[in-house]
A and B are shown apart, each in its own frame.
Chain A
């Protein structure tokens, strides 16, 4: 079975940094686009970043470009999100998601999420 397990969230001061991890299992990790999607408290879903299977191409929402870096270690089946220059508006649950099998670009599987709180 596909499993995605995020970790690394917590409380951080404005301007601080955090690195999120997503440990994947149950599928050939290197074959799939992976994404980070976030959800601010009581709000909707917002795509944050994507990375191709090889890691060669990365994409970012304008709201995080230049501050966040997505990466992956295919030997360890792990996805990362390095978050620098954190702002209050980055407070959210961060989900990692696996591309679906069908080529639609849907997020076929989601982790349980990790909460990032940016506050002084």
Chain B
């Protein structure tokens, strides 16, 4: 299976901050990389698919980039509703595998 490693595991930030989360794959996955947001007690929600494509209805403050093994999720200006845990997922090779998550907390 392909291993996905996110960094950092957690971070503290303030409203309005720019936040960057990194995801690294154990082998090249082209752009088969998705990002999800999970608020406490809720189901995950797809934010970005195929590395850089914004899911319908997701604010443009979210963006994704990368290809091969290194990927980034950026939140350009953190809003109160963005405090959550974020997961990357590769779907290049079945089974899809998730990163361990990055928890974004309020500073």
Q: Which residues of A contact B (CB under 8 A)?
A: 37, 44-47, 50, 59, 61, 95, 100, 102, 104-113
Contacts and interface: CB of A to CB of B under 8 A. Distances in A.
Most buried by A among B43, B94, B95, B97: B43
Interface string B76-107: 00000000000101010011111111000000
Given A47-B98, A106-B91, A111-B43, 14 more contacts: A37-B44, A44-B101, A45-B44, A95-B43, A102-B50, A104-B34, A104-B49, A105-B96, A106-B46, A106-B50, A107-B34, A108-B55, A110-B45, A112-B42
Interface residues of B, number: 23
A46 B87 CA distance: 11
Contacts of A61: 95
